[in-house]
Structure 1
Amino acid sequence: MIEFEERSQAFLSWLSTSSVSLNSKISLADLRSQHAGRGVVATSDIIEDEILFTIPREVILIAENSDLSAKLPQVLEELDSWTALILVMMYEHLKGSASPWKPYFDVLPLTFDTLMFWTQEELEELQASAVRNKIGRDSADKTFRETILPIFHSNGAILFLNGNFISDEELLSLAHRMASTIMAYAFDIEKKDGDKEFDEEGYTSDEDDEVLPKGMVPLADMLNADADRNNARLFYQEDALVMKAIKPIAAGEEIFNDYGPLPRSDLLRRYGYVTSNYAKFDVVEVSHEILIDTVAQNGAISREEIDSRLEYLDGEGIIDTGYDICRPVPGEPIQEIFSPELLTVIAALLMPTADFEQMKERGKLPKIGSISSKVASLLSKLVRNRAMQYATTFEDDEVALSSLLASHTQNNLSRHSYRMQMALEVRLGEKSALREAEQILQRLEATAIESEKDHKRNPRFHTDDGSSKKRKVG
């Protein structure tokens, strides 16, 4: 506790000597009891648009601000911004007290609860969540072995400034730690206006807009995030980055940034925590394979015909490795729950052969308007098949989570138990999304069946302008 506080105070002193402007109405708080590390809280009432702190651009930990950019300019130029920042952070960390960012490194975490650091046993608690396929530990390891290690081998005299050489395995461990720090804490750093290239009409190039370097912004990265309680935002100026209040903040309230609409599985993967405030963004990914298996089980179309139609759809850029099912929001249309690509593929695969061939000849795709009973029925089967991929039911997980929380308090949860809790919350969120989607589909299917019956009783044809007219019968 004493060391934690001492490091916090040393960091604040460093900010002061680095020309960082701090509002006297905020303070750095110890939030470890909430599994949140450090956070920033208001000590007095803050009004909207009030500046909380200002960080000069030269204080940002970014490749161009490190003296390594002068020592190994060509090496850094050949790396992407992500890998370049990893290398710079490893270099500055190994410099120890010689690094101008030493007090900053001292308050950054040494351990993480991001999925990169979970054991295989812990990862299995996520069951069938697609996030398990997005961790990328092996690919990161390969990149570090093929890129970072050779740079250290070739430039040891520069990178090991104090002659404190460490083994390749220690370097790999440090590279993973710095990469996880960047994933959890780094910002996209917008260029100074003077560094941007403008065309004759005053617009920046696509490259300027899309390729933004990553940078570590001291203090700004210590704001925790909350989708509902977001009350601050980082603004980019020519010579500094400015954090402002975007609404009034009362004394005693924590100051929150926001990560945007991230599902809790991605919160866990990137930042190492979950919160119920992001439950509304939960998403379930359905693999292309289970979609095709479900269509084949339906029996309305042969495997050969499925493959033939998929070839056409792939040429039209519709086929993907996976499709999203979003957590339903009351009142929103079905098209907002299921990805448009998924709806398009299903509609195409369920079309009568003659209709599909005619559409194919015209080089078109199905228009997704109202959902037919056949499409709703198939989607229901797909949702059920996806739910069956999880080893436990929604009810099982509710009991397990209640039992875990009843046997521990948040303050005495072990790291393993804390990870088990987060895994349960992620898979409960995904199963809940599937349950709610299926309930909506069942109602939609029933409504569509009645509508189709009514259509048969009162035949209509559609004109080119979209209006409907009664068809003469008999």
Structure 2
Amino acid sequence: MPGHRSGRAARKRRKKQESITQSVSLSHQQQYVRLKTFLHQRGFTSALLQPARFTDTGRGLQALKTIKSGELIISLPESCLLTTSTVLNSYLGPYIKSWRPRISPLLALCVFLVCERHRGEASDWFPYIDVLPKTYTCPAYFSDDVMAVLPTSVQRKALDQREEVRGVHSSHLSLFRSLQPILSQPVEEVLTYEALRWAWCSVNTRSVFMSHPSSDFLFGQDVYALAPFLDLLNHRPDVQVKASFNEVSRCYEIRSVSGTLRYEQAFINYDSHDSQRLMMEYGFVASCNPNSVVYVDTDLLCDVLKADRGLDQKMRFLRENNFINNLTVSSEGPGWRLLTALRLMALPQTLYAQWKAVLLGQRVCEETEERSARTVKTLCERILQDTHTALEKISLLLQCVCPSLTEQLRVVEALRQEERCILGNCLKAMECSAEQQTPDELLSRQPDDADDNEDAVS
């Protein structure tokens, strides 16, 4: 018996240790030594944070001492920021300034990153480019197999992102060819689609918001700034910080609101995004995200309600009143916009005069509420079935794909697992509510921020 107790205790200790986040400092590695030297020469030092690798999030920044609420954790001088001013003042400047039609700030930064990576250690920005990820896990990188296991509601957006990057590359081949004089290899071997995709994702996933004055040489809003070292900070939904460019100090500053304990990972908050948005924009899914929802695709909605002879008219009415998007369910239950749309769907065409009132929040009869509740349940069950099928396909793909695809699949798998959890909790919440409340009380939620009710009824 004592031996059995000892084994059980050892397993418990092991399990507890595995659940604790471990970290390993990266400060001694040559590429981070070079990065810190590069930044120090430009006026930045950090006594509060060091690069480290964490078992739960990968690379991030670790607090070397306890950071108090309200304390300034990073103050990165303007000279350390890579902006369009950096590009226009570089060897690329004359080419971009003379090019017509004018290009976007995003493209200017992308071309600069590709050219600087091509220059290798001869580049002033090599210490920064050397620590940038070599690949990304946002949709622009997704293979067809990975695209196929995405939720329907995000699949179209993901395909659009991939095609957008392809379009940016194919529509600027003349610009790229004009840069041949500054390249040591044929332009076709340097400014490739793959290279531009890497740069595009680098800017989109890692830049901070920083408004710049409009330029005579660029077209469109300029709000990008790449921030070396600062961009190692990872996102966590429950963390609060204040981040902005300080016009007095001429530094990009991040001030902690939540605080961080010594040796723990310091986080920032990229904004109140759900997991689909985080995956689309940044290529990851945050655990325990209170903003996460499951989107109900309109094609699925129409399929579930296809027996309704007035479906086309109702869908047209919803579309005309900006009520066809952001139909969601959360762990607490169906979102207000979805409930409202389903109430309208449950009404007969003879009550057309009431449709606008329903979108404005008017209550409907008990029978209509019951039909709406049944439709929500059917929608959840249909999406849940698709989720299970996708997870099975992901499991099979993970057994036979290369490492780069494995990373992509793990991100989609996390999204699908979260989706499964939300749908299961939604069905349980509705079941519990149905036992305790009347259908009218069950579906009596009011608009809230989580439903993203930004489109007013016209």
TM-score (normalised: structure 1): 0.73
Kindly state the Cα deviation for residue 34 of structure 1 after the two structures are TM-superposed: 4.8
Shift of the 393–70 alpha-carbon distance from structure 1 to 2, 3 Å rule, reads: closer
Return the match for 1:272 from 283, 289, 292.
Answer: 283
Greater mean alpha carbon deviation, residues 115-124 or residues 347-356: 115-124
Distance 1:249 1:347 in 2: 46
Show the counterpart of 1:234. Answer: 243
Does residue 347 (structure 1) correspond to residue 338 (structure 2)? The answer is no
Q: Does 1:131 align with 2:154?
A: yes
- The offset of 1:224, in angstroms, is 1.5
Match of 2:33 in 1: 9
Equivalent residues of 1:397, 1:428 under 8 A apart: no
- What SS does the aligned partner of 1:142 have? helix
Q: Which residue, 65, 73, 78 being the options, matches 1:52?
A: 73
Query: Cα gap change, 1:96/1:364 in structure 2, threshold over 3 Å: closer, same or farther?
Result: same
Q: C-alpha displacement at 1:397, in angstroms? A: 9.8
The aligned residue for residue 466 of structure 1 is: none
* Larger gyration radius, structure 1 or structure 2: 1
Q: Equivalent residue for 1:243?
A: 254
In structure 2, the CA distance between the partners of 1:142 and 1:259, relative to structure 1 (3 Å rule), is same
User: Unaligned stretches of 5+ in structure 2?
Assistant: 1-24, 215-219, 443-458
Instruction: Name which of 420, 438, 446 aligns with 1:448.
Output: 438
Matches within 5 A, 1:383-422: 383-392=380-389, 416-422=405-411
Change (3 A) 1:83 1:241: same
- Quote how far apart the aligned CAs of 1:414 are: 5.4
1:358-373 matched pairs, under 5 angstroms: 358-359=353-354, 366-368=359-361, 372-373=369-370
- What's the CA shift string for 1:328-386, capped at 9, x where partnerless? 24xxxx5xx4252x333322222233321x246xx655333667222112222222222
Query: Identity of paired residues, percent?
Result: 16
Q: 2:335 maps to what in 1?
A: 338
1:258 is the counterpart of 2:255: no
Distance 1:385 1:153, change over 3 A: same
Alignment TM-score, normalising by the size of structure 2: 0.75
Cα distance, 1:34–1:373 mapped onto 2, change above 3 Å: closer
CA gap 1:44/1:315 in 2 versus in 1, 3 angstroms: closer
- Cα distance 1:44–1:12, how it changes in 2: closer, same or farther (>3 A)? same
Question: Using the alignment, how far apart are the partners of 2:335 and 2:340 within structure 1?
Answer: 10
Q: Contact between 1:104 and 1:218, CA under 8 Å: does it hold in 2?
A: yes
Q: Is the 8 A contact 1:232 1:255 kept in 2?
A: no
Report SS of the residue matched to 1:392.
helix
Give the CA deviation at 1:57: 2.0
Aligned to 1:463: none
2:206 is the alignment partner of 1:175: no
Give the number of equivalent residue pairs: 398
Kept in 1, the 8 Å contact 2:27–2:52? The answer is no
Please give the alpha-carbon distance, in whole angstroms, between the structure 2 residues aligned to 1:315 and 1:141: 32
Alignment of 1:137-216 (within 5 A): 137-147=162-172, 149-157=173-181, 161-167=182-188, 171-191=192-212, 211-216=221-226
Aligned to 1:317: 322
1:221 paired residue number: 231
Change (3 A) 1:315 1:53: closer
SS state at 1:281 partner? coil
1:291 partner letter = L
- How far residue 74 of structure 1 moved from its aligned partner, in angstroms, is 4.7
- Summarize the Cα distance change of 1:365–1:169 in structure 2 as closer, same or farther, 3 Å threshold: farther
Aligned-residue RMSD, C-alpha: 3.5
